[in-house]
């Protein structure tokens, strides 16, 4: 049975930040995934800013949106 917990590396030791339900002396395998520090993280909006730059013509897109709004999809009155 596997579980994921948070831990901190300090003084050369991995220290769990949560209670672990394991028998004393039980051998386990640990996989270490380093989490980014808050200073390395970007706000989602900032990270995606400019992602579409150069891929589409924004003015043409706006014209198409406004033109599509004028198209009636309602059936005529009988």
Segment 49-57 shows an average pLDDT of 83
In a domain, 16, yes or no: yes
Give the rounded distance of the alpha carbon of 21 from its chain centre. 30
Q: What's residue 44's pLDDT?
A: 77
72 against 67, higher pLDDT: 67
* Residue 5: pLDDT over 90: no
How many domains does the chain fold into? 1
Rounded Cα gap, residues 72 and 9, in angstroms? 63
In a domain, 65, yes or no: yes
Domain enclosing residue 12, as ranges: 7-32+45-69
Widest distance between CA atoms in the chain: 81
Segment 3-19 shows an average pLDDT of 90
Q: What's residue 40's pLDDT?
A: 58
In a domain, 25, yes or no: yes
* Residue 1: pLDDT over 70: no
User: Could you tell me the pLDDT band of residue 39, with boundaries at 50, 70 and 90?
Assistant: low
């Amino acid at each position: 049975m596997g579980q994921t917990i948070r831990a901190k590396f300090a003084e050369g030791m991995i220290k769990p930040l949560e209670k672990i339900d394991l028998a004393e002396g039980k051998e386990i395998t640990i996989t270490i995934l380093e989490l980014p520090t808050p200073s390395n993280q970007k706000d989602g909006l900032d990270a995606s800013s400019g992602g579409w730059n150069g891929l589409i013509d924004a003015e043409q897109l706006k014209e198409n949106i406004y033109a599509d709004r004028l198209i009636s999809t309602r059936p005529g009155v009988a």
